[in-house]
Structure 1
Amino acid sequence: MAYFERLDGDRFLATEHVGGAWELSEQHIAPALGLLVHCVELDRDRRRDDDLQLVRVSHDILGTVPVAEVAVQVRVTRPGRTIELVEAVLSHAGRAVVVTRAWLLQRHDTAALAGTPLPSIPAPHELPAWDAGAVWPGGFIRSAEVRRAQDEPGRARFWARTDVPLVDEPVSDLARLCGLLDIANGMTVRVDPRDVAFPNVDLTAHLFRAPQGEWLGCDTSVSFGPTGLGLTTSVLHDVSGPFGTLNQALTVRPGPEPSRS
């Protein structure tokens, strides 16, 4: 069973694997963000044949969504021959839940220039297995295999993968790994989430190459400020090394309720 099953052209049914983590009856938003990237790629491939590449994906999370039927609509907000800005909206019962904006850029041969000073992290087999279900409930966390080395609360390097398909149709490695990105905010908590809620209201990933493979690696730091603001920031890896960065803005609230109202 996949995280989502396609019902028709733009409607999808969330399955039990998307449940949690703040509330079991609600979706963990991670798979939905991957679904939005998948829909952006499908729309691109229907419209053009030059395979523009995603360089930034920014998701604004407008609220919670039950484990139920959702719809995705995609539109081009800035058309262009070499650069596009595309918007995708995930909705439930007519209410927008996530607004995604993706910049897509033309391909050029820069192999001779490729490189990054971002440090690598230990390979998945070099880190110990970690039971994320000891901290977080829900079907999504149960579906993920996690290997982690934690330096201190709020600072860790980890790898995650899942054998649950994103949706019941072929997807790219990028879309599948984007369906794991939101896990980063819960993999090295500063405080017990039963005592303090710290859901993210957005997620923005910048990429300098397309990731490959089944493992998502994150070099993650979590910071809380004195007035209820927080930030989870990660350097993203696949088994070949770093491929981008990730930021998640947090609302930090003493007490377990993660309401975004």
Structure 2
Amino acid sequence: MSYFRRTGATTFDPTSAVGGAWNTAEQHVAPTFGLLAHLVETDRIARGRDDLAVTRLSFDVWGPYPLEVMDTAVRVLRPGRGVELVEAEVHCGARRVVTLRAWLTATGDSSTLEAGAPAAVPGPQDTPAWDPTADWPGGFVASIEVRRALENPGRGRVWARTGVPLLDGEDVGTLARTVGLLDLANGMTVRSDPREVAFPNVDLTAHLFRRPAGGWLGLDTTVTFGPDGAGVTSAVLHDEAGSFGRLAQSLVVRRLS
């Protein structure tokens, strides 16, 4: 079982492991984020740009979408010697559902200048196991392994990983595998019971100051609800070597009753 199967040069078929958490008949957006990152990386390599690395990923979610075949496209919006802006998008049923804009910047040795990273947090081996299906349904949530330490509602530390390949029979890099888990930030340290309050995110933006090592993804997360139906989930990103970036998600908050 994988999250997606390639059915053509630009088309992909989701499996049941992509089933959503808000609605199990729809796709969880997390694997799509990973798929788009994979397409950006595949395009970068095909163009011979090994001198560039992805340092920002900004996803916009245009709406929910079913467990149906998706068509994808990648294009370079801003070519450059040391900086590029690349866009990738997914259509499902002839409707655009997710867009990614990624900044790629030139790599170089800045090891003598390295400083300022957020402090490391206790690793997965020091964090209690937790079953996320206690809060969420769906094939994607059931496919992940989670360890969690909560300080209070909406504030906590989570480690997550999956043994499910992103794509059937296709090599996928560490970046895309990591990106395919980022959307978990909004659901693993909930501020309110998702059976009583909906708080879906309409976007996700991640800034990276080094490449993730893969394996366990750590999310040191804070969820904030405002007074007018909006919220923000923010997290410092970690792997077992330490922090490597930050993310933020815009939330639409509403009571379900």
Normalising by the smaller structure, the TM-score range is over 0.9
Displacement of 1:188: 0.8
Residue 185 of structure 1 aligns with which residue? 186
Q: Distance in 2 between matches of 1:238 and 1:182?
A: 16
TM-score by length of 1: 0.96
Q: Tell me the alpha carbon deviations over residues 118-176 of structure 1, each in whole angstroms, 9 at most, x when there is no partner.
A: 12110101000001100000100000000000000000001000000011210111100
Match of 1:37 in 2: 37
- Please give the secondary structure, in 2, of the residue aligned with 1:234: strand
User: Is 2:249 the partner of 1:248?
Assistant: yes
| Letter aligned with residue 136 of structure 1 | W
Instruction: Note the C-alpha offset of 1:115.
Output: 2.7
Partner of 1:136: 136
**Shift of residue 235, structure 1, vs aligned partner:** 0.0
1:113 — aligned with what? 113
**Matches of residues 5-16 of structure 1 in structure 2 within 5 Å?**
5-16=5-16
Inter-partner Cα distance in structure 2 for 1:94 and 1:87: 18
SS in 1 for 2:186: helix
- Alignment TM-score, normalising by the size of structure 2: 0.98
How many residue pairs end up in the alignment?
256
Contact 1:154 1:188 in 2 (8 A): yes
Alignment-derived partner of residue 229 in structure 1: 230
Query: CA contact under 8 A between 1:4 and 1:13: conserved in structure 2?
Result: yes
Q: How many angstroms apart in 2 are the aligned matches of 1:103 and 1:117?
A: 20
User: Per-residue deviation at 1:14?
Assistant: 0.2
CA offsets 1:168-219 (integer angstroms, 9 cap, x no match): 2101111001000001100011111111100000000000000012110010
Q: Distance in 2 between matches of 1:21 and 1:49?
A: 37
Question: In the alignment, what sits opposite 1:195?
Answer: 196
Number of the residue aligned with 1:79: 79
SS of the residue corresponding to residue 160 of structure 1 reads strand
Between the aligned partners of 2:237 and 2:65, the Cα distance in structure 1 is 26
- Gaps (5+ residues) in structure 2? none
Q: Secondary structure at the match of 1:25?
A: coil
Between the aligned partners of 2:67 and 2:46, the Cα distance in structure 1 is: 29
Pairwise CA RMSD of aligned residues? 0.9
Question: Once the two structures are aligned, what percentage of the paired residues are identical?
Answer: 56
DSSP 3-state at the match of 1:157:
strand
Q: Does 1:161 align with 2:158?
A: no
Offset at residue 71 of structure 1 (A): 1.3
Q: Secondary structure at the match of 2:38?
A: helix
* TM-superposed deviation, 1:72: 1.2
The answer for unaligned runs of 5 or more in structure 1 is 257-261
Query: Which deviates more from structure 2 when the two are superposed, residues 52-61 or residues 115-124?
Result: 115-124
Q: Contact (CA 8 Å) 1:44, 1:51: kept in 2 or not?
A: no
Partner residue, 1:93 = 93
Note the alpha carbon deviations across 1:68-97, whole angstroms, 9 max, x for none.
111110001111111100000111021100
Equivalent residue of 1:91, what SS? strand
Name the counterpart of 1:63: 63
Q: Would the aligned equivalents of 1:45 and 1:51 in 2 still touch at CA under 8 Å? A: no
